Chains A and B, each alone.
Chain A
Amino acid sequence: MKKPNTQPLSLRVPEPSGRPGDTPDFSHLKLDAPGAVDRPEVSTTPFDMRDHAFKLVRVLDDNGKAVGPWNPKLDAETLRKGLKAMILTRAFDDRMHRAHRQGKTSFYMKCTGEEAIAVAQGMILSREDMGFPTYRQQGLLIARGYPLATMMNQIYSNASDPIKGRQLPIMYSAKDYGFFTISGNLGTQVPQAVGWAMASAYKGDDKIAISWIGDGATAEGDFHNALTFAAVYRAPVILNIVNNQWAISSFQGIAGGLETTFASKAIGYGLPALRVDGNDFLAVWAATQWAEERARTNQGATVIELFTYRGAPHSTSDDPSRYRPGDEHEKWPLGDPVLRLKQHLIALGEWSDEQQETAEKDAVEQVRAAGKESEAIGTLGQSRPSVKTMFEEVYATEDWRITEQRREVGV
């Protein structure tokens, strides 16, 4: 028998709190005060730390002071190194974004506002550990001292591109720097990271894996598969979710974040989760160290939601003014990761506005020098690897089809 409804059913389609022309509104965010969230022992069971998936670990307060149990108590040298790497990442982004506008490359993606995440995590883990990044963790390479000119060579697909002009700009691959080859297919790298970590455990090795995925891509099936495998086999892996609020034009509610947090998704898999202020270098550092210790001591995987805001357009092909308030980024209540770490160092008496200015100039200079080096080889279309390389490395050895087709091209 048909059961009558008290009222007609209706379909809910989540909508963000602000659209173009609206005043940005972040009043719905529940942000814990810096220092307010407790730091559980690394050995705490996932069951006993479920609340952490709904809290927000923060260390830096509004005055730039490090407070609370998550303060990693970093020495000034490490802090300065992190700040400089973030400044350099931003300078690199700015130049490459401009390079696109100048027609030197076909494509670019900035990570503005998210620099603290990849930089801190890239500094904590070693190059022997394997990172499985998305296209927005360029800070990982920069923090590890990967040559900027080599990054540019990839972006320009020139004759010195380490991946031989085969990939879209920014899809770097740098095995020696613990940086797995980036794929255009979202989410695929997360269960691969789990497999890599399983392999390390299988061999009795001491290396761990770390992966990143955006808020939007957590809706992919690979995310579910990765968490299942990570939990089942207790894989030594750190599973980051970079929640920058936006997946191109879709706000995070469309990915399933409206009534819950992305960190909370770990709970159902029996994995511990931390939810962290992604614009707080110290909080990112501390949470990652916590997860690292857990992985290295064979206690398994940790999910970390890094709560941040995508300050720039999704890519050079995107115009955010068509779907979100233009000044939303400036109103982001967790501020800017570079400015917050700068303020902290100044509050410690370990940095000054002058040093900041010098560091920014120095970063621009480093990027300019790298640009000169790379552009001397050539930008897009001016220089490229030999066409012969198009047919190489499809397989370990070329078979007759590829030989015939290569000859057809005359190379």
Chain B
Amino acid sequence: MNMIQALNSALHVKMAEDPNVLSFGEDAGYFGGVFRVTDQLQQKHGLTRSFDAPISECGIVAAAIGMGAYGLRPVVEIQFADYIYPAYDQIVSEAAKLRYRSGGQFTSPITVRSPYGGGIFGGQTHSQSPESLFTHIAGLKVIIPSNPYDAKGLLTAAIEDDDPVIFFEPKRLYNGPFDGWHQNPVSPWKAQDLAQVPTGKYVEPIGKARVMKEGSDVTILAYGTMVWVSLAGAEHAGVDAEVIDLRTLVPLDIETIEASVKKTGRCVIVHEAPKTSGFGGELSALVQERCFYHLEAPIARVTGWDTPYPHAFEWEYFPGPERVATALKSVMSGGR
């Protein structure tokens, strides 16, 4: 399966299993979503279980919160992560805090799915990676898969989780892994082991990273599209990097990170989002706090620039394998 089919499969399986699961969003009903992730849900499970929503991100999330408080497990779609901001108050002030502020009387077992990330000439409002706006909020979980197998297992886990989950789907990876060598033709998912997706139900645990490639020279912390870019960057640099796909940003698999950096003594963090106050800042601080005496070079961050996401300058903005390779070489020579 490609990532779209894997996500779609997770929804079909959960909806067949649990009548409290329903899905809605803009164009997510009859049409099956602009990216086809909700394809055939309405036809198979019925009009009231997968339906179209008004163009109102705040309304979509608020309705989901109300449904969650009632006892349902709504999975809502925000068409692009760039358009999640109208729902920000509902997510931050309400979904995230419902359990806490009510002393556990009310909970918000909702999943907010949203395509995110760049590398598709999406310009300012179809390319953003706003994960750090959510990792900063107590009460939210944040998941970003990098492959079809994890996408299905993690979405299943998100739906079953009793806390609100922000589930960002790297749309650049929907149809195939993308390593950042944009001049090359895109390879299909079917060549990858992680595209072997069972049709039945399985769950990938929230809060566990996946070591994509073991290595001894340096640890690369990445998620989403940047997992594939990091693998390509390490190969390009000729460095034996250990590439860790975080998969879950909150809660973070600190044990895997710590063990890896203590082994390699070096750390490069890669994300698409702008550098300042990006999630890489948090990762860097954690590694510095926990692995200080094992570090042989300053921690490096390869990220998007501190600019809005541009259109014409897509490949100068997008942190590609060459920038990753440069950072790896720099870190290997002591960071100078």
- Residue positions of A touching B, CB distance < 8 A: 130, 132, 162-164, 166-167, 171, 173-175, 180-181, 183-185, 188, 191-200, 202-203, 209, 221-222, 224-226, 228-229, 232, 393-396, 399-401
The answer to whether A194 touches B63 (Cβ under 8 A) is: yes
Whether B64 sits at the interface, judged by CB under 8 Å, is yes
Whether B54 sits at the interface, judged by CB under 8 Å, is yes
* Residue from A166, A198, A394, A399 within 8 A of B66 (CB atoms): A198
Rounded to whole Å, the gap between the CB of B255 and the closest CB of chain A is 8
Supposing A185-B94, A195-B65 touch, asked if A162 and B56 sit within 8 A by C-beta, the answer is no
Rounded to whole Å, the gap between the CB of B61 and the closest CB of chain A is 9
* Residue from A173, A199, A222, A232 within 8 A of B62 (CB atoms): A222
Q: How far is the CA of A173 from the CA of B99 in the complex (A)?
A: 11
User: Which A residues lie within 8 Å of B22 (CB)?
Assistant: 202
The answer to whether A130 touches B101 (Cβ under 8 A) is: no
Whether B106 sits at the interface, judged by CB under 8 Å, is yes
Supposing A181-B106, A196-B69 touch, asked if A222 and B58 sit within 8 A by C-beta, the answer is yes
The answer to whether B251 touches A188 (Cβ under 8 A) is: no
Whether B205 sits at the interface, judged by CB under 8 Å, is no
Nearest opposing residue in chain A for B93, CB measure:
A185
Whether B107 sits at the interface, judged by CB under 8 Å, is yes
User: Which A residues lie within 8 Å of B90 (CB)?
Assistant: 188, 191, 222
* Residue from A173, A221, A224, A226 within 8 A of B102 (CB atoms): A173
The answer to whether B70 touches A400 (Cβ under 8 A) is: no
Q: How far is the CA of A174 from the CA of B101 in the complex (A)?
A: 11
* Residue from B48, B56, B97, B101 within 8 A of A225 (CB atoms): B56
Supposing A175-B106, A232-B54 touch, asked if A197 and B101 sit within 8 A by C-beta, the answer is no
Rounded to whole Å, the gap between the CB of B213 and the closest CB of chain A is 25
Whether B103 sits at the interface, judged by CB under 8 Å, is yes
Q: How far is the CA of A393 from the CA of B105 in the complex (A)?
A: 10
Q: How far is the CA of A167 from the CA of B62 in the complex (A)?
A: 21
The answer to whether B69 touches A229 (Cβ under 8 A) is: no
Supposing A180-B69, A195-B64 touch, asked if A173 and B106 sit within 8 A by C-beta, the answer is yes
User: Which A residues lie within 8 Å of B161 (CB)?
Assistant: 396
Q: How far is the CA of A39 from the CA of B138 in the complex (A)?
A: 49
The answer to whether A163 touches B103 (Cβ under 8 A) is: yes
Nearest opposing residue in chain B for A188, CB measure:
B94
Whether B98 sits at the interface, judged by CB under 8 Å, is yes
- Binary contact track B162-194/A, C-beta < 8 Å → 1, others 0: 110000000000000000000000000000000
User: Which B residues lie within 8 Å of A193 (CB)?
Assistant: 66
Q: How far is the CA of A199 from the CA of B108 in the complex (A)?
A: 13
Nearest opposing residue in chain A for B64, CB measure:
A195
User: Which A residues lie within 8 Å of B97 (CB)?
Assistant: 183
The 8 A-B residue pairs with the shortest CB-CB distance, nearest first, are A195-B66, A195-B63, A191-B62, A225-B59, A199-B70, A181-B102, A399-B251, A196-B66
Can you list 25 A-B contacts (CB < 8 A)?
A: A163-B102, A171-B101, A175-B105, A180-B106, A185-B93, A185-B94, A188-B90, A195-B69, A196-B69, A198-B67, A199-B67, A199-B71, A202-B72, A203-B70, A203-B72, A209-B66, A226-B59, A229-B59, A393-B100, A394-B99, A394-B138, A394-B139, A395-B99, A396-B163, A399-B250
| Most A C-beta atoms less than 10 A away, residue of B99, B103, B162 | B103
Rounded to whole Å, the gap between the CB of A175 and the closest CB of chain B is 4
* Interchain Cβ contacts within 8 Å, total number: 138
The answer to whether A396 touches B99 (Cβ under 8 A) is: yes
The answer to whether B63 touches A188 (Cβ under 8 A) is: no
The answer to whether B70 touches A229 (Cβ under 8 A) is: no
User: Which B residues lie within 8 Å of A183 (CB)?
Assistant: 93-94, 97, 101
Rounded to whole Å, the gap between the CB of A295 and the closest CB of chain B is 15
- Residue positions of B touching A, CB distance < 8 A: 22, 48, 54, 56, 58-59, 62-67, 69-72, 86, 89-90, 93-94, 97-107, 138-139, 141, 161-163, 207, 250-252, 254
Rounded to whole Å, the gap between the CB of A65 and the closest CB of chain B is 41
The answer to whether B67 touches A395 (Cβ under 8 A) is: no
The answer to whether B69 touches A192 (Cβ under 8 A) is: yes
Nearest opposing residue in chain A for B62, CB measure:
A191
The answer to whether B162 touches A396 (Cβ under 8 A) is: yes
Rounded to whole Å, the gap between the CB of B66 and the closest CB of chain A is 2
Q: How far is the CA of A222 from the CA of B139 in the complex (A)?
A: 22
The answer to whether A225 touches B102 (Cβ under 8 A) is: no
User: Which B residues lie within 8 Å of A400 (CB)?
Assistant: 251, 254
Q: How far is the CA of A297 from the CA of B66 in the complex (A)?
A: 21
User: Which A residues lie within 8 Å of B141 (CB)?
Assistant: 395
Rounded to whole Å, the gap between the CB of B108 and the closest CB of chain A is 10
User: Which A residues lie within 8 Å of B59 (CB)?
Assistant: 191, 194, 225-226, 228-229
Q: How far is the CA of A225 from the CA of B97 in the complex (A)?
A: 21
Q: How far is the CA of A138 from the CA of B97 in the complex (A)?
A: 22
The answer to whether B63 touches A181 (Cβ under 8 A) is: no
Known: A181-B106, A195-B66, A225-B58. 18 other contacts (CB 8 A): A132-B66, A162-B103, A163-B101, A163-B102, A174-B105, A183-B93, A185-B89, A188-B90, A191-B59, A194-B59, A194-B66, A195-B62, A195-B65, A222-B62, A224-B56, A225-B56, A226-B59, A228-B54
Q: How far is the CA of A203 from the CA of B163 in the complex (A)?
A: 22
User: Which B residues lie within 8 Å of A180 (CB)?
Assistant: 69, 106
User: Which A residues lie within 8 Å of B162 (CB)?
Assistant: 396
Q: How far is the CA of A132 from the CA of B98 in the complex (A)?
A: 13
Q: How far is the CA of A229 from the CA of B252 in the complex (A)?
A: 36
Q: How far is the CA of A164 from the CA of B105 in the complex (A)?
A: 12
Rounded to whole Å, the gap between the CB of A80 and the closest CB of chain B is 32
Rounded to whole Å, the gap between the CB of B193 and the closest CB of chain A is 29
* Residue from B62, B71, B103, B251 within 8 A of A164 (CB atoms): B103
Q: How far is the CA of A167 from the CA of B98 in the complex (A)?
A: 11
Rounded to whole Å, the gap between the CB of A347 and the closest CB of chain B is 42
